[in-house]
Amino acid sequence: MALKQKILITDNISEAAFNILSEEFELEIRKGLETLELKNEISQCEAIIIKSSIKLSDDILNSAKKLKVIGKAGANVDNIDLKSATKKGIVIVHAPLSNTTSIAEFAITLLLALAKKLPMANYETKQGLWDKKKFEGIEVEGKTLGILGFGKVGQIVAKKATCLGMNVIAFDPYVSEDKYWQSQIRKANTIEQLYENADFISIHLPKTKETTNLLNKNEFYKMKKGTIIINVSRGGIIVEDDLYESIVEGQIAAAGIDVYEKEPCKNSKLFQLDNVICTPHISSSTFEAQEKADIIIANQIKKVLKNEMSSFTINLPIYNEEAFNLISPFIELCEDLGILFSQLFEGKVKELELTFSGKVAGYKTDFLLNVILAKILQKYSNEIINVVNAKIFADEMGLKIKEVKNLQSQDYINLITLKGKDDNNELSVSGTIIGIKNMPRFISIDKFEIDMVPSKYMAFIKYQDIPGQIGKIGTVFGKLGVNIAAMHVGRKVVSGEALMGLNLDCEVTQEMLEEFKKQSGFTKIKIIKL
């Protein structure tokens, strides 16, 4: 009986997530691990689930000899050394959509609390004061909310704000026109257009080079006087000292801040202001969000350990689930093409050209390139090479890679062609997918047209196209006890060289191969095992 793969869990996870994993895997729950304990535990497991209390540095990951996947039950992965994990071929999965509702609700909560001046009204009332006029608020109905960043969270905030009777305008140059149209939200063509219209601005941007310190004093003074700012996305997007000055000077009316330039934030000028609500990065801290994150991570870990593709992977060239769904029908074909090429090609490949033709050329194909590279490069290295680190190893080997895209495909809706060469050898293979199940098919091999369904065991034979050859091949394989399930022949000219592809029911050993060559006289034969 095969040993179950082991998963180390370093924090609390929900019962539902535990149940997803417990039937098929061995679970080891160890909280509060010190460095040496963590190194020891991680060396014995195939997967680890962490939250924010554990940091996986390069030093820790060097002990993770068996580790296949890291699961972070949350959206950000700041406590994981991405470069180190990627070089080691470790998949990193997270749960980016688990907290979208919680964060959106928190943004709306801050918006309403600031509009009604609730925090200070609550504080002074409990102090025995009763100054109703001091806490006169504003109605949000009819006001305009400007949303900076129109991703999943921004879209939910827009929907909830619309239900409150607010007008909504959003700015995000990376979101398609369709998203605005589907959400029935007005698009700001420039960030200045959003500033000019918004009474409230809610920030839902990732922290990047472009967005770091995006909102500074210069930007605050482009906004309408009296604008209310809300940030529940990432610290460092707002220059906090500039926000403080803009509020003191009366340009910005109030702010709700849940994230900070440095966290944990123990001291800030913003803490001094009555019209600023400050919370300790809790916008996603709800029972429901955490349970969703745990369940998402459990399912992603399960997929990776069962050699299936995960949907929320940080260190793979797939940016979202939608992009993955588009390319997923081609993954098996690319695996087959990569294995076929690696076993047919003589020598060590120096140059690769990958051509995508037809509909597939319109998709983001980086991941498919990595799938093919992983299967080819495994032939040349003792390291673990997979879709996570294949491109890194290709660069280190000096492999020249060219990717060609052609939206037109003459004979097939989709066609993928792989060409490779070194100083002395050249080989091309191509394939497509057919039917509602997206079944892979080899279309051509070494410039021979051959329509063939891949199988676990195959043989490819080059021979002179003269009468009696096919029968001879079948007879010798029969004597060796090898059953031929299907036979496919491609040739360029009559009586010239031909290529036969055979689907076989069993493996052909080296001894059987030598005997086949001896009895049949055919020496140009390659045995392939997918």
Q: What is the mean pLDDT of each run of 10 residues along the chain (530 residues)?
A: 87 94 94 93 96 90 94 85 89 88 97 95 93 92 97 95 98 88 94 98 92 96 98 96 98 97 94 96 92 94 88 73 82 95 92 95 91 91 82 89 89 93 93 93 92 94 89 92 92 80 94 93 92
Give the per-residue pLDDT at 404.
Answer: 94
Give the per-residue pLDDT at 495.
Answer: 63
Q: Which positions ≥6 away from 365 have C-beta within 8 Å?
A: 327, 356, 403, 405
Give the C-alpha separation, 229 to 78, whole Å: 26
- Residue located via tokens 């990627």: 86
Token digits of residue 225: 């006087």
For the chain, list the domains and their CATH numbers: 6-96+289-315 (3.40.50.720), 100-278 (3.40.50.720), 319-424 (3.30.1330.90), 455-530 (3.30.70.260)
Give the C-alpha separation, 440 to 503, whole Å: 14
Give the C-alpha separation, 435 to 433, whole Å: 7
Give Dmax (Cα) for the chain. 107
Give the C-alpha separation, 353 to 66, whole Å: 33
Give the C-alpha separation, 355 to 410, whole Å: 14
List, in sequence order, every residue forming a beta bridge with 144; answer none if it has no partner.
167
Catalytic residue numbers read 234, 263, 281
Give the C-alpha separation, 156 to 284, whole Å: 14
Give the C-alpha separation, 295 to 199, whole Å: 38
User: If you write DSSP's letter for every residue of 290-330 in order, what string do you get?
Assistant: HHHHHHHHHHHHHHHHTT---SSBTTSS--SHHHHHHHGGG
Among the listed residues 119, 152, 123, 150, the one whose alpha carbon sits nearest the alpha carbon of residue 137: 119
Give the per-residue pLDDT at 319.
Answer: 53
List, in sequence order, every residue forming a beta bridge with 461; answer none if it has no partner.
500, 525
List, in sequence order, every residue forming a beta bridge with 354; answer none if it has no partner.
403, 418
Question: With helix as H, strand as E and coil as C, how does 43-56 read?
Answer: CCCCEEEECCCCCE
